[in-house]
Chain A
Amino acid sequence: MGAYIIRRILTGLLTLLFISFVIFALLDLAPGDPTANLPQSIPQEVKARIREALGVNDPFLMRYMKWGQQFLIVEPINAIEKTTGIAIGDSEGRLRITSWTSRGKPVVDIIIERLPQTLYVVGMAYLLSVLIAVPLGIFAGYRQNSWFDQISSVIAVIGFSLPTFFTGVLVIQIFAVWLGWFPTLYNTTLRVTSMETLFQQLRQMIMPIMVLAFFQMAAISRFTRSSVIENMKADYVRTARSKGLRERLVVVRHVVRNSLIPVVTLVALGIPGIFGGAIVTEQIFNVNGIGQLLITSLQSNDIPVVQTVLMIFAVLVVIFNLIADILYGVLDPRIRYS
Chain B
Amino acid sequence: MSATAATASASVEPIFNTKPRGLWSTAFRRLFRRRSAIIGMIILAALILVALFAPVLATHDPVKSLIGIENVQKRQGPCIHWLGCPADQPQHYFGLDGNVRDLYSRILFGARLSLLVGIVSVGFAIVIGAFLGAISGYVGGWTDNLIMGLMDIMLAFPSLILAIAIVTVLGPGLINTLLAIGIVSIPIYARIMRSSVLAIKQQDYVMADRSIGVPTRRILFGNILPNALTPLIVQGTLGIAVAILDAAALSFLGLGAQPPTPEWGSMIGQERNQVFTAPHLIIFPGIALILTVLGFNLLGDGLRDALDVRQRS
Output the least CB separation between A251 and chain B (Å).
24
Which of B66-74, B115-123, B158-166 is near enough to bind chain A? B158-166
* Contact code string B234-260 (vs A, CB < 8 Å = 1, else 0): 000000010001001100111100000
The 11 sampled A-B contact pairs (Cβ below 8 Å) are A160-B293, A160-B297, A165-B265, A170-B282, A173-B282, A275-B161, A279-B164, A279-B253, A280-B252, A295-B254, A317-B157
Residue of B nearest to A280 (CB): B249
A279 and B162 alpha carbons, distance in the complex (Å):
12
> Are A161 and B275 in touch, CB under 8 angstroms?
no
Taking a contact as CB atoms closer than 8 A, the residue among A272, A277, A310 that contacts B156 in the complex is A272
What band does the interface of chain B fall in when counting residues whose beta carbon is under 8 Å from A?
35 or more
Secondary structure call for the A interface: helix
The distance in angstroms between the C-alpha atoms of A298 and B161, with both chains bound, is: 12
Known: A160-B241, A172-B275. A165 touches B252 (CB 8 A): yes
B164 touches which one: A19, A31, A170, A298 (CB < 8 A)?
A298
Number of cross-chain contacts by CB at 8 Å:
116
CA distance A118 to B106 in the complex (A): 35
Q: Verify B161–A166 contact, CB threshold 8 A.
A: no
Residues of chain B lying within 8 A (CB to CB) of residue A177: 275-276
Q: How many angstroms between the C-alpha atoms of A15 and B148 in the bound complex? A: 12
A166 and B157 within 8 A (CB) = no
Asked whether, in the complex, the Cβ of A30 is within 8 Å of the Cβ of B168, the reply is: yes
B269 within 8 Å of A by Cβ?
yes
Min CB–CB distance A295 → chain B (angstroms): 6
B153, B161, B252: most-surrounded residue (chain A CB, <10 A) = B161
Q: Which residue of A lies closest to B40 (CB)?
A: A157
Query: Please, which residues of chain B bring their CB within 8 A of the CB of A306?
Result: 168
Q: Does B272 contact A (CB under 8 A)?
A: yes
Q: Are the CB atoms of A276 and B245 closer together than 8 Å?
A: no
A window 140-177: CB within 8 A of B: 154, 157-158, 160-166, 169-170, 172-173, 177
> Contacts of A172 on B, CB cut-off 8 Å?
275
Instruction: Find out whether the CB atom of B279 lies under 8 angstroms from the CB atom of A173.
Output: yes
Cross-chain contact of B253 among A29, A31, A166, A283 (Cβ < 8 A): A283
Evaluate contact between B290 and A30: CB separation under 8 angstroms.
no
Decide yes or no whether B230 CB sits under 8 A from chain A. no
**Complex Cα–Cα for A142 and B272 (A):** 42
Nearest-CB residue, chain A, relative to B273: A169
Q: Shortest CB–CB separation between residue A160 and chain B, in angstroms?
A: 5
Please tell me which one of the listed residues B165, B265, B276, B298 contacts residue A310 in the complex, with CB atoms under 8 A apart.
Answer: B165
Is the beta-carbon distance between A313 and B161 smaller than 8 angstroms? yes
Q: Which of B168, B169, B249, B276 has the most CB of A within 10 A?
A: B168
Decide: B160 and A280 in contact? CB cutoff 8 A. yes
Chain A residues with CB below 8 A from B58, complex form = none
What's the Cα separation between A154 and B39 when bound, in Å? 12
